[in-house]
Chain A
Amino acid sequence: MKPRNRLLTIYAAIVYVFLFAPIVVLIVFSFNDSKRSVNWKGFTLDWYPTLFTDHALVDALSVTLRLALVVVIISTVVGTLLGLALARVRFRGRAATETLLLLPMVTPEIIMGLSLLVFFSAALGWHGSFTQLVFAQVTFCISYVAIVVRARAAGMSAQLEEAARDLGASALGAFRYVTLPLIFPAILSGALLSFALSFDDYVVTTFNAGVGSSTLPLYIYGRVKFGVTPEINAISTIIVTVTAVAVLVAWYTGQRRNATRAVTEDESETDLAAPPPPATPTSRAGAGA
C-alpha cells in the first residue's frame, strides 16, 4: 500500500495548494501599497492599523460574525434532526419532505431573497433587520446540514442503538451516547458548511438586511464599483489567521485530552453504551461501521 499512499498524498497536497493559492495571493496583497487591490505597487503595513478605524468595516464584520454564529447553531440543530429523521424513520410524507429539502437549494437566490423580502414586508411589515437575516439565512442552511447528516446516518444500521436500548439505555441516552458520536463528523461538516454559507452570503442578505445590519459581503460588494481596497484583504487575512489559530488550539487540546484519556482508561465503564469520546472522530474500525 505504500506506493499508493505516496501518490495519493502528493495528490492531496496539490489539491490543498490549489485551495489555498488564492488565499496566499489575498494575504500578499493585503500589504499592497495602493488604494486598489488589483496591481502591486509596493509593500506597506498601513492597511492593518487603518482597518480598525474604519467603523463601517468593523461594524459590518461584527454583524456578520454574530449572524453566522446564531445561524449555524439554529440550522445545525434543526438540520441534524431532520437529516436523522429522513435516514432512519419511516414516516408518512417522507418523500414530500425530501423534495421540500431540495427546494431551497434549487431556488435561485434572487427568488429566495426577494420572496422573503415580500413575505416579511407583507406579513409583518418588516423592512429588514438582524432578526430577519437570521430567519432568511437559516432557511437556506438547513438543507445542507440535513443532506450531509442523512448521508452519514443512512445505511448506518439501527442495530447499535437497539443494542444500547436492549442494555437498558433510554431513548435519549442511546441517542446521546451512540447515534450522536457516530454522526458527529456529519454534524461538524454541516456546521462548517452553514458557517461558510452564512458568512459569505450576498444575494439573500442584500434584500433582507435592514438599516444598520449591513454585513461584510454587503460592505465589500458595495465597494466594488470604486475599487476594493487592501483593507478588505487585511481583514480577511486576520479572519483566516484567527480561525487557523483557533483550529490549531482546538486540535492541540484535543490531542492532549486523548493522550491523557488513554492513560486513565481503566476508569471507563465497560457498559456497551459507553461512548467513545466524541471529541474527534477516529478510524477505529468498530466505531466506524
Chain B
Amino acid sequence: MTHPFDGSSLDLEKELTRYMVERRVSRRQLLEAIAKLGPAAALAPVIAACTSGGAGPESQAASAAASAAASAAVPSAEASVGAGSAEPTAVPEPEKELFVYNWTEYIGEDVIPKFQDKYGIKVTYDFFSNTDEAYAKLGKDGGGYDVSFPISVDIPAFKEKGALLKLDKSLLPNIVNLGKEWTNPGYDANNEFSVPYMWWTTGVGYDTKRITDTLTSSKALWDPRWSKHIAMLDDWQEVFGLALIQMGLDANTTDTAEMDRALALLEQQKPLVRVYSTDTTTTMSSGDNWIGQIWGADIYKIQEENKNMVYYIPEEGGVRGSDTMAIFSGAKHPIAAHLFLNYMLDAQISADNTNYIYYMGPNAAAKQYISPDILNDPSVNPDQAIVDKLQELLDLGPAVREEYLKRWQTLRGG
C-alpha cells in the first residue's frame, strides 16, 4: 500500500539488509564474498544505492560482480535436463508456510495440495477479483503475501517501487522450461524479478446462431443490426486498444489526437453497446449479448454454456497479454516461495494448470502434457504467425494514462 509519509532518506544499514535479502545472502556468505573480492567490489552495489539512485555502468558492473560472488558463495544447483522437472539441490531449509495471492480458479485443481504434500509446506491461498484492488493490497512489499500474480505490464512499476524480490535462479532450475520468446521479455529483462505464468489474446466472440454472417473484422462490434446486444470489456486499455488497432494505429499511442479519434469511434459505438463488463462468462452466455469483446481463453467457459459461441482475432489485429508470478520484497518465506515458483515452472504442473484453466502457458516443455484440444484451439493457442501480429498493451506512465482516462470517463459518462 502507499505510505504517504514515506521518508526518502536511506541509511547504510537498511540498504545492506535489503541487498542481502534480495540476493539471499547471509552475513556469513557476504563476509566470504568480501574475502574473495575485496570489500569495495562486494559492497559496491550497496554504496551505489546509497549515493546515487540510478545504476551507472560502474555500479552495474560491480553489482554483477557481487552477484557472481554471492552465487558462488551459495551452493549452486544442478539443472537436470529432460522431462522438464528439476529440483534445486542443496536447498536451504524452506519455511513451513507460504502465503499466495491469486485470482480464484486460476490454478490447476490439485496443484496446491500436491505442492503441500511434496514439500510439507502449508499454503494459505487467498484470492482477489480484480488486479487493481489486489495491487492496492500488495502495496510496496506484498502486504503480507509472499507470492502473487501481477500482470506483466505492471512489473516495471512494482520493480520501481522496490516491491519485488530479485529471484535467485539457483533455486529455479525449471526456468529452462520456458519457451525462448519468454526468456527475456520486454517488461522484465531476463526474468530477474518475475516468471511468466499465463498468456492470452483479446478478440471477439459471437453467437453463430444469432449471427449467421461469418465475421472476421472488429468492425462487427459496430454493426447496428445487433444494437443493444453488443458487449465490450470494462477496461479502458483494451477498449481503446481495439479502436486504435481498428484504425491501423498503435494501441499504445501517446498522441492525444489519435486518442481523440479513437474516442470519436467509440462514441459512435456506445448507443449500440448493452454493457461494459469484464464478467464475460455471464454477459456472453446469458443470451442477452450476441457479440462481444472477450479474452480468448474465456471462450471455453462461455462455450460450456452456449455451444454456438466462437472466437476470432480480428483481421485488423488484436492484443496479447500475459501475467507473471513474483515474490514480494516483504516475503517472510522466500525459500518456500522460490520452491513454489520452481514447482509451477515444472512441465507437468504447468500443463495441469493449463488443462484446468484453459489458458496457455509460456512453458515449452509442458506442451507434451497439454491436452490436444487446447493445443489445437486457435482461441487459446493461435498460430505463431498470428501471435506475431498481436500488440502488447504497455504501461504508459501516469501522464499518458491520465489522458486516456479522461477520455474513458467522457465515454462512460452516463
- A/B: CB atoms within 8 Å of each other: yes
B368 at the interface (CB under 8 A from A): no
A226 touches B301 (CB 8 A): yes
B305 touches A39 (CB 8 A): yes
Residues of A within 8 A of B127 (CB): 214, 218-219, 222-223
- A118-B4, A211-B145 in contact; A36/B285 too (CB < 8 A)? yes
| Contact among A122, A214, A223 with B5 in the assembled complex (CB-CB below 8 Å) | A122
B137 at the interface (CB under 8 A from A): yes
Residues of A within 8 A of B281 (CB): 36, 38, 225-227
B369 at the interface (CB under 8 A from A): no
The contact string, 1 if C-beta is below 8 Å from chain B, for chain A 220-245, is 01111111000000000000000000
Inter-chain CA distance A121–B105, complex, in Å, is 29
**CB closest residue in chain B, given A34:** B305
B136 touches A114 (CB 8 A): yes
B28 at the interface (CB under 8 A from A): no
Residues of B within 8 A of A118 (CB): 1-4
- A118-B4, A127-B144, A226-B105 in contact; A212/B285 too (CB < 8 A)? no
Interface residues on chain A, size class: 20 to 34
A224 touches B126 (CB 8 A): no
| Contact among B129, B144, B305 with A221 in the assembled complex (CB-CB below 8 Å) | B129
**CB closest residue in chain B, given A114:** B136
Inter-chain CA distance A64–B137, complex, in Å, is 20
Residues of B within 8 A of A212 (CB): 99, 124, 126
- A118-B1, A121-B1, A212-B124 in contact; A225/B286 too (CB < 8 A)? no
Inter-chain CA distance A212–B98, complex, in Å, is 11
Shortest beta-carbon distance from A159 to chain B in Å: 53
B226 at the interface (CB under 8 A from A): no
B128 at the interface (CB under 8 A from A): yes
A39 touches B285 (CB 8 A): yes
Shortest beta-carbon distance from A34 to chain B in Å: 7
Inter-chain CA distance A224–B137, complex, in Å, is 19
The contact string, 1 if C-beta is below 8 Å from chain A, for chain B 278-291, is 11011001100000
The contact string, 1 if C-beta is below 8 Å from chain A, for chain B 67-105, is 000000000000000000000000000000001010111
The contact string, 1 if C-beta is below 8 Å from chain B, for chain A 189-230, is 000000000000000001100111010001101111111000
Residues of A within 8 A of B306 (CB): 39
A117 at the interface (CB under 8 A from B): yes
A207 touches B136 (CB 8 A): yes
Inter-chain CA distance A39–B302, complex, in Å, is 11
**CB closest residue in chain A, given B332:** A211
A214 touches B285 (CB 8 A): no
Inter-chain CA distance A207–B172, complex, in Å, is 32
B182 at the interface (CB under 8 A from A): no
In the complex, how many residues of chain B place their beta carbon closer than 8 angstroms to a beta carbon of chain A?
A: 35
A128 at the interface (CB under 8 A from B): yes
| Contact among B2, B104, B139 with A222 in the assembled complex (CB-CB below 8 Å) | B104
A117 touches B1 (CB 8 A): yes
| Contact among A122, A224, A226 with B3 in the assembled complex (CB-CB below 8 Å) | A122
A169 at the interface (CB under 8 A from B): no
- A39-B286, A212-B126 in contact; A223/B137 too (CB < 8 A)? no
Task: Choose among B99, B126, B145 the residue with the greatest number of A CB atoms under 10 Å from its CB.
Answer: B126
User: For window 239-288 of chain A, which residues contact chain B by CB distance below 8 Å?
Assistant: none
| Contact among B105, B286, B304 with A223 in the assembled complex (CB-CB below 8 Å) | B105
Shortest beta-carbon distance from A22 to chain B in Å: 16
B125 at the interface (CB under 8 A from A): yes
A35 at the interface (CB under 8 A from B): yes
Shortest beta-carbon distance from A40 to chain B in Å: 11
Residues of A within 8 A of B305 (CB): 34, 36, 38-39
B133 touches A56 (CB 8 A): no
Shortest beta-carbon distance from A33 to chain B in Å: 12
Shortest beta-carbon distance from A32 to chain B in Å: 11
**CB closest residue in chain A, given B124:** A212
**CB closest residue in chain B, given A202:** B129
Shortest beta-carbon distance from A228 to chain B in Å: 8
Task: Choose among A36, A38, A211 the residue with the greatest number of B CB atoms under 10 Å from its CB.
Answer: A211
B321 at the interface (CB under 8 A from A): no
Residues of B within 8 A of A38 (CB): 281-282, 285-286, 305
Shortest beta-carbon distance from B33 to chain A in Å: 32
User: For window 18-53 of chain A, which residues contact chain B by CB distance below 8 Å?
Assistant: 34-36, 38-39
Shortest beta-carbon distance from B380 to chain A in Å: 15
A121 touches B3 (CB 8 A): yes
- A56-B125, A212-B126 in contact; A35/B1 too (CB < 8 A)? no
A127 touches B143 (CB 8 A): yes
Shortest beta-carbon distance from A218 to chain B in Å: 8
- A117-B1, A122-B5 in contact; A222/B99 too (CB < 8 A)? no
Shortest beta-carbon distance from A16 to chain B in Å: 28
Inter-chain CA distance A222–B3, complex, in Å, is 26
Shortest beta-carbon distance from A201 to chain B in Å: 14
Residues of B within 8 A of A224 (CB): 129, 279, 282
Residues of A within 8 A of B282 (CB): 36, 38, 224, 227
Which residues of chain B have a CB within 8 Å of any CB of chain A?
1-5, 99, 101, 103-106, 124-130, 133, 136-137, 139, 143-145, 278-279, 281-282, 285-286, 301, 304-306
Which residues of chain A have a CB within 8 Å of any CB of chain B?
34-36, 38-39, 56, 114, 117-118, 121-122, 127-128, 206-207, 210-212, 214, 218-219, 221-227
Contacts A224-B279, A226-B104 known; list 20 others, CB within 8 Å.
A34-B304, A34-B305, A38-B285, A38-B305, A39-B285, A56-B125, A118-B1, A207-B136, A207-B137, A211-B124, A211-B145, A218-B127, A221-B129, A223-B105, A225-B104, A225-B281, A226-B103, A226-B106, A227-B282, A227-B301
